[in-house]
A and B are shown apart, each in its own frame.
Chain A
Amino acid sequence: MRGYLTIEQVGKTFDTQSGKFTALSNVSLAIEKGEFVTIIGHSGCGKSTLLNIVAGLSRATTGAVLLDGVSVDEPGPDRAVVFQNHSLLPWLSAYANVRLAVDKVFGKTKSSAERDEWTKHNLDLVHMNHALHKKPDELSGGMRQRVGIARALAMQPKILLLDEPFGALDALTRAHLQDTVMEIHQATKSTAIMITHDVDEAVLLSNRIVMMTNGPAATIGDICQVGLDRPRRRLEMADSLEYARCRKQVLQFLYERHAKAA
């Protein structure tokens, strides 16, 4: 099982005060170039732990992650992360936040004018060109997340990692951002892993939905292949049989096979 990104037999054990706690065990997944994969599961199932291992922010206890044939053991701009709470630096404007990443990644390969243009281009992709010089606290939650996405895109990563990026947003803003992410995925053919707990979001955006079992020792329970053509339109999905089938498969997994006592 070899893909562009290969997660092989990954396990994660934490040392806690009450002994060892196995969060993940035996997770294996191969992702092809250009694929959009979402990971869904109940809270506490280790989704974020898995994403952090792929990002290199946390190390796997067992197993390995390979990206484009190279083993991942530290964070880097080839695996850009869109953090759940945007993580923009509050003293920098939207432009400067993105520019910081661009300068770091392309400081040696692009001229200053090219970097300026690349920064603006990426903010343009997320429709934020109207607020280049606003500080994060002058932006709405959705706009901050857009800038966070622009910053990640601007690193031109091999894979984009989105950690529940829309979790804190209201439903309308969330829908707008989902559309933006679909546009960008369509335009840049980027490879992406996104964590979510929203079934509709997963079906709408993904090529494949990876369903995680409940922890401890969470692993991949099932994978749903979403056979919907792109570009996808939100409104057309209501009548789509394939959409309904995928939605049902994920819901069944989450609420029948691996229901979690609330």
Chain B
Amino acid sequence: MTMTMGEAAKPARLRPWLAGLRLQDKARDCALLVVPPLITIGLLLLLWQMLCSQPGASLPPPSKVIKDTWQLISDPFFDNGGTDVGLFWQILASLKRVCIGFSLAAVCGVALGVLIGQSSFAYRGLDPIFQVLRTVPPLAWLPISLAAFKDSNPSAIFVIFITAIWPVILNTAVGVRQIPEDYRNVARVLRLNGWEYFFKIMLPASVPYMFTGLRIGVGLSWLAIVAAEMLVGGVGIGFFIWDGWNSSLLSEIILALIYVGIIGFLLDRIIGFFGRLIAGRPI
């Protein structure tokens, strides 16, 4: 009898201890994930600090970057009119352009990709054109689009569009072409009509490929917007960097570069997240 009670009591006593252990495990997993990057970042900053602290160094060390740009870091929301606005507004302006250009590229790219993936006639007709056009560097499109749109903002958006669309088209086409014959046969036996086939078979079967294209596309758009804005001016992180160069504010440029990198990384992760969400599986 006492033994039974002892047995029963044991798990109850053990439970909080086990929970503590599990929490410890979680903390360790978390530390394993966070500590190595912290160490490498710390070492890099230290190296940078050492290299740029010598007299006559041409670039500012991190301590000076933070000191110089503290106002920009601490208040990203100020607005003194014109292009003299906080970094939040600069980045938002760039993101807006990317958002419009990239959305257009996504819609047109998926549509064209499905077309050349489905029809070998369209593939033969369009693929050579796409292969040539996609090698044109983004900025080479800028003069043409400035001439066509006669305005800087639509031109910048067009550059984003034309940069992001190629990987979307080509990856979607690959995705559509690789749909196994078996799925097509299932669709034929079930007599799915065009729309049903598109939504129930083609889209889910090629979503991982589409999102590969979209991820590459969003990365390229972010690369292109910074370059395009340097040339067209106005509010935007690209022009902010160019402006910093013209005013010899190297610390501001370095800060902007860090922000550009972080935003690019986040854009990539966001598209990846939506891909997983829509595909319902890792992509």
A-side residues, CB < 8 A to B, are 55-57, 74-77, 79-81, 83, 85, 87, 89, 91, 100-101, 104-105, 155
Contacts and interface: CB of A to CB of B under 8 A. Distances in A.
Interface stretch (B76-84, B190-198, B217-225, B247-255): B190-198
B262 interface: no
Interface stretch (B89-97, B134-142, B169-177, B179-187): B179-187
Contacts of A55: 189
B201 interface: yes
Secondary structure class of chain B's binding surface, majority of residues: helix
B191 A75 contact: yes
A89 B183 contact: yes
A76 B188 CA distance: 7
Given A91-B280, A104-B190, A104-B191, 12 more contacts: A56-B188, A75-B189, A76-B189, A76-B191, A87-B186, A89-B201, A91-B279, A91-B281, A100-B190, A104-B196, A105-B190, A155-B190
A105 B189 CA distance: 10
Contacts of A77: 189-191
A194 to B, nearest CB: 16
A91 B206 CA distance: 11
Given A89-B204, A91-B281, A104 B192 contact: yes
22 contacts: A57-B185, A75-B185, A76-B191, A77-B189, A77-B191, A80-B189, A81-B185, A83-B182, A87-B183, A87-B185, A87-B186, A89-B183, A89-B201, A89-B204, A91-B204, A91-B205, A91-B280, A100-B200, A101-B190, A104-B196, A105-B190, A155-B189
A57 B183 CA distance: 12
B189 A79 contact: yes
A140 B232 CA distance: 59
Q: Is the interface of A mostly helix, strand, loop or mixed?
A: loop
Contacts of B280: 91
A101 B201 CA distance: 13
Interface in B227-283: 279-281
A179 to B, nearest CB: 26
A91 B183 CA distance: 12
A163 B231 CA distance: 63
A77 B185 CA distance: 11
B37 to A, nearest CB: 33
A87 B188 contact: no
Nearest to A157: B189
A208 to B, nearest CB: 25
What are the 7 closest A-B residue pairs judged by CB atoms, nearest first?
A87-B182, A75-B188, A91-B204, A75-B189, A104-B190, A87-B186, A81-B189
Contacts of A56: 188
Contacts of A80: 189
A80 B200 CA distance: 19
Nearest to B196: A104
Q: Which of A56, A79, A87, A155 has the most CB of B within 10 A?
A: A87
A100 B189 CA distance: 12
A64 B29 CA distance: 67
Contacts of A104: 190-192, 196
A85 B196 contact: no
Contacts of B281: 91
